[in-house]
Structure 1
Amino acid sequence: METNNINVLMVDDHKMTLVGYSSALEGINRTSNIYQFTVTHSTTIDAALRELNEWFNYRLLHLVFLDIQLPKDSNNQYQSGEDLGIVIRKKFPQTKIIIITTFDNNLLIQNLLESINPEGLIIKSDLVPENFMDAVLDVLEDPPYYSKTVIKFLRKQHGFNYHLDRLDRLIIYYISAGKQTKDLPNYVPLSLPGIERRKKRLKEIFEVEDGNDIHLITRAREEGFL
Structure 2
Amino acid sequence: MKNYKPNQMIIPLRISLLDDHPAITDSYSNCISCMTHCENFKVSCFNTIEDFYDTLSNQYNPDIIFLDLSMPSYLKEKIEDGFHLAKILRKKFPAIKIIILTMHTSPLYIYDVIEKIRPEAFLIKSDADANEIIKTFEMVLAKKRYYSKTAECVLENVSKHAFCHDEINRNILLMTSERYTSKEISEKLQISTSTIEKRTAMIKQILNIEGQNNKTLIEILKKSNLM
- Shorter-chain TM-score range: 0.5 to 0.7
Establish whether residue 44 from structure 1 lines up as the match of residue 48 from structure 2.
yes
Instruction: Name the Cα RMSD after superposition.
Output: 2.1
Does the 8 Å contact 1:96/1:140 carry over to 2? no
For 1:202, the equivalent position in structure 2 comes to none
Establish whether residue 26 from structure 1 lines up as the match of residue 40 from structure 2.
no
Does the 8 Å contact 2:108/2:158 carry over to 1? no
Alignment of 1:69-80 (within 5 A): 69-75=70-76, 77-80=78-81
**What CA distance in whole angstroms lies between the structure 1 residues aligned with 2:29 and 2:18?**
12
For 1:150, the equivalent position in structure 2 comes to 151
Runs of 4 or more off by more than 6 Å in structure 1? 1-4
Give percent identity, aligned residues only.
30
How far the C-alpha of 1:35 sits from its partner, in A, is 7.0
- SS of residue matched to 2:60: coil
- The amino acid across from 2:59 in the alignment is Y
**What CA distance in whole angstroms lies between the structure 1 residues aligned with 2:11 and 2:76?**
37
TM-score (norm 2): 0.62
How far the C-alpha of 1:61 sits from its partner, in A, is 2.2
Gaps of 5+ in 2: 5-9, 161-227
- SS of residue matched to 2:70: coil
Deviations 1:152-204 (A, max 9, x none): 11221345xxxxxxxxxxxxxxxxxxxxxxxxxxxxxxxxxxxxxxxxxxxxx
Deviations 1:84-109 (A, max 9, x none): 11111112111110000011111111
Does the 8 Å contact 1:6/1:35 carry over to 2? no
**What CA distance in whole angstroms lies between the structure 1 residues aligned with 2:123 and 2:17?**
14
**What CA distance in whole angstroms lies between the structure 2 residues aligned with 1:26 and 1:85?**
25
Does the 8 Å contact 1:126/1:147 carry over to 2? yes
- The amino acid across from 1:89 in the alignment is R
For 2:124, the equivalent position in structure 1 comes to 123
**What CA distance in whole angstroms lies between the structure 1 residues aligned with 2:149 and 2:11?**
29
How far the C-alpha of 1:4 sits from its partner, in A, is 6.9
Alignment of 1:173-188 (within 5 A): none
The count of residues paired between Structure 1 and Structure 2 equals 153
How far the C-alpha of 1:128 sits from its partner, in A, is 1.2
Does the 8 Å contact 1:126/1:149 carry over to 2? yes
Gaps of 5+ in 1: 160-226
Greater Cα radius of gyration, structure 1 or 2: 2
How far the C-alpha of 1:34 sits from its partner, in A, is 7.4
**What CA distance in whole angstroms lies between the structure 2 residues aligned with 1:73 and 1:44?**
8
